[in-house]
Amino acid sequence: MSKKTNVLGGGLSAILSDAPKIVQPVQQRPPIKTGIDLEISKIKANPNQPRTRFDENALQELANSIQQLGVIQPITVRQVAPDEYQIISGERRFRASQLAGVETIPAYIRDADDNITLTMALVENVQREDLDAIEIATSYQRLIDECELTQEELSKQVGKTRSSITNFLRLLKLPPEIQFGIINKDISMGHARALVSVDDCDKQMQMFAKIIEQDLSVRQVEDLLRDYNAEKKPKTPAMQISEASKSIQHNLEQKLGAKVTLCVTAKGSGKLTIPFTDESDFARIAALLNTN
């Protein structure tokens, strides 16, 4: 499949204006018919609709508004049979209109093949503000896979930075349980981004459970992550103590009457540890150290 990067440029409006060049010449058939009221019964949902969850309360509120004011913004459809249309964009308005019990809905009729339909639906969806992070990530991944876009091309087409695109796509690597937690708003995007950086699936699930059980903030999860990374960080190997250093260590033990521990790193730095039993023992050792 050839790339459709020019189709996406500038968002949905650019798609609507550019798509006729791909489907068929404008002079043969107008790309959009406006001002048409279509019968609800003749409209079908788009099987490629990337949005899978619709808030029932929000839908009912929109349905109440439609009963009072009608549908202000027309939906966009394509004709798939003599008396059948398929939604390209506006499925939420379509569903709310069904709830409202209206018989017709204003619509733009658009000429578009399956690929253009998918592209338009995906681009419209990622511009919405009410999608959860997993829906956005899934839409980004579909645009990359099915429309053959690179992350760089995708970032230009949807108006997001490449780092933002990458952060969303990384969420799809999380275990399904955590992805459902994001969808259900059990954890935030900030929590999820912290969990993504954990490279162990079992540890991710442990942290996820802890976030839920203890209602941890993002900052607290980041602190947990720092502790986890510190535990993973390999310790600097100790360097073998030279015979001369061992001799000095032994002489100190003899002089102080206490066990002396000497630790030297590979870089040559280190520390000398002299334990004491109580305050008086500490004073005794300090006095011996101060003598010549």
Rg (CA), the chain: 33
User: How many whole angstroms separate alpha carbon 235 and alpha carbon 182?
Assistant: 35
Q: What is the DSSP letter of 172?
A: G
Active-site residue identified among 39, 56, 84, 91: 91
Asked if 83 contacts 42 with a C-beta cutoff of 8 angstroms, the reply is yes
Q: Which residue has the tokens 């189709």?
A: 7
User: Using CA atoms in the order 170, 172, 175, 180, what is the torsion angle rounded to 10 degrees?
Assistant: 120
- Dig out the tokens for 247 from the structure: 């001799």
Active site residue 91: yes
Collapsing DSSP to helix, strand or coil, 39 comes out as strand
Cα–Cα nearest to 111, from 33, 204, 13: 33
- 267 contact partners, CB below 8 Å, separation of at least 6: 236, 239
Rounded to 5 degrees, φ, ψ at 138 are: -65, -40
User: How many whole angstroms separate alpha carbon 8 and alpha carbon 147?
Assistant: 10
Q: Which long-range contacts (CB under 8 A, 24 or more apart) does 281-288 make?
A: 285/256, 285/258, 288/255, 288/256
Cα–Cα nearest to 90, from 137, 132, 40, 140: 40
Q: Which residue has the tokens 């913004």?
A: 73
Q: What is the DSSP letter of 27?
A: T
> Which positions are annotated as active-site residues?
91
